[in-house]
Amino acid sequence: MISIQRIGAIVFRHLKTMYRISWLVEISYWTLLDAIIFGSLGKATTMLTDAGSNLGIVNALITNTIMWYVVLRCAITIGFCLLNELFDANLITLFATPLHKTEWIIGCIIPGSIAALINIFVGWLLALCFFGCNIFATGLPAFVALCSLLISGWILGLIIMCMVLFMGKKGTSWAFIIVWSLVPFSCVYYPIDVLPKAFQIFASCIPMSHVFIGLRELIMHGANPWPHLAISFILNAVYLVIAIVLFVVMFQRSKKNGLARLELEW
Amino acid sequence: MRFRPILSVVLTHTAQYLSFKEWIGILWYWMIGIVLYGLIGRSISSLTGNETTGIFLIITLIAIKPSVSRCAIEMPRAILEQSAGHALVATFATPITLSEWTIATMIMGLIGALIRWILGFVLLFLLFNISVMTYLWQLIIISPLLLMAGWTIGIYLSVLTYIIGKKSDSFIRLIAESFIVLCGVFYPIAMLPQPFRFIATQIPTTYIFEGLRAQITTGTSMWPYILTSMELNLLYLGIGIFALFLTFKHVKNRGLASLENK
């Protein structure tokens, strides 16, 4: 039986240790830097295409750049929920309590989602202040895209956790390498046809790429984003199930080998 | 100034490059960055119908990233590594001087930048079939200036590290990367939001890329820009060195051990 109280305790533990002013400054800073790079790049491109009044390129680039942070922030925060337990040598203690795996996963996903939402809010404010770009100007599709990206963030967060559980300390760097490697295939900054043919197939299997393609098409050409968003949700559902199964298998395996081995590495 | 203490510091810190894991990390992250910006460049070229804009984007990324961010980060990182290993006091208890230490960290930054430059241009050719030879002489002119800018930022970051100690660890990358954003590497500074344009005009690297852009797109001479960049670089470097010596003297008087304990 899932206990809301136990989930609440896990969420509170992570929120309490994670959210400091320096954390807020850090997420705002990186979001601002990326917004400036791609906002300015979009403006420069617009000037070169003689489409001075058409701000589609700028808005699409800024929106996708900031939206990407939903995935990144959610995945990293979920990954850090496990890493924090390992740094504090708290994992064994945690599972000596009646806490269930499902409750723990939900307890890690919630702070990840909160962090992602704070990040997107900061990004929305910065884009509005510095570029006059409202990333939610498209209305409902933007919010649906946000939900799809949140689920992608959960999946990547679970994969980071799986790698840390499987490989221990070594898994941390590999996990972040994997997340970073998905950026070129997620089509955040360019359409899918820019990729070489072989990689286009791979990119079309990534749920994030459909979200970003849909958003870009909608912002730049007013195209219907729903087919892309629907595909992203279907892919997300499949990958989420796989990620949860993988996590359960890895956790059982790690428990069999001894969770203490993970804590001792740090 | 003696050669041997400099060499020993360089050898100690560059030993990290001999590890396979470090190489995989450098190569992989660098490759993903190049692939990402190469594809962005390709997309921009197709939108503008001008291939040069895309090539310019990726070449300038490879030119600036290692020089400015690597040189800048390597210097304070060496101080942080020493203080984390409780070796800072021991190091400066030897006859090594601050000048020798600073030059050694500058050389470390140079080695890091050279490795990434070579890897970057090889990857650029392999992945996008873009030869660096087309822009070779421009790159030869700008690279010393970029390195100088990197070292200058590194000196200021070292000053910050001497003042606030281990806490500076989280700011170092943040500050170094913001120079890349503000100096108009990928776009003219006129594209930046108004509040950032003034800051951009005070950064030496801005003039390097404005000059390079002017030369490639309109054929205008880049020398006036290079001269302005050099003047600013020398001014900031001079002030930076003065600040570094002053801060180090102050920290030494207070006790270097305080940095290790912070």
| pLDDT tens, residue by residue, B100-120 | 989 999 998 888 888 888 888
Interface of A with B in 117-156 (CB under 8 A): 130-131
Q: How confident is the model at residue B251 (pLDDT cuts 50, 70, 90)?
A: confident
Q: What are B78's two structure tokens?
A: 């060496």
Query: Higher-confidence residue: A16 or B69?
Result: A16
Among A220-229, A249-258, B138-147, B165-174, the minimum mean pLDDT is found in: B165-174
DSSP assigned state of A138: T
The continuous run of DSSP H or E covering B86 comes out as none
Region at B187 (left for phi over 0; alpha for psi -120 to 50; beta for the rest):
beta
Task: Specify the pLDDT at position A105.
Answer: 92
Closest alpha carbon within chain B to A29: B174
A22–B170 C-beta distance less than 8 A: yes
Instruction: Please provide the average confidence, as pLDDT, over all residues in chain B.
Output: 85
* Largest distance between two CA atoms of chain A: 65
Closest CA to B98 of B254, B257, B250, B261: B250
Q: Nearest C-alpha of chain B: how many angstroms from A47?
A: 9
Q: What is the tally of helices (H) and strands (E) in chain A? A: 11, 0
B187–A41 C-beta distance less than 8 A: yes
DSSP assigned state of B202: T
**CB-based contact, A24 to chain B, within 8 Å:** no
As averages over each run of 10 residues, the pLDDT of chain A (266 residues) reads 89 84 82 87 80 73 92 91 86 87 92 92 90 89 94 94 84 79 90 88 93 92 92 96 93 85 72
ipTM for this prediction: 0.84
Cβ neighbours, 10 Å, residue B121: 20
Assess contact for A248 and A101: CB atoms under 8 A.
Answer: yes
Assess contact for A138 and A216: CB atoms under 8 A.
Answer: no
Q: Across residues B81-101, what is the average pLDDT?
A: 85
Task: Specify the pLDDT at position A228.
Answer: 94
The continuous run of DSSP H or E covering A49 comes out as none
Q: CB-CB: which of A44, A180, A195 is closest to B39?
A: A195
pTM over 0.90: no
Q: How confident is the model at residue B33 (pLDDT cuts 50, 70, 90)?
A: confident
Task: Specify the pLDDT at position A52.
Answer: 54
Assess contact for B67 and B150: CB atoms under 8 A.
Answer: yes
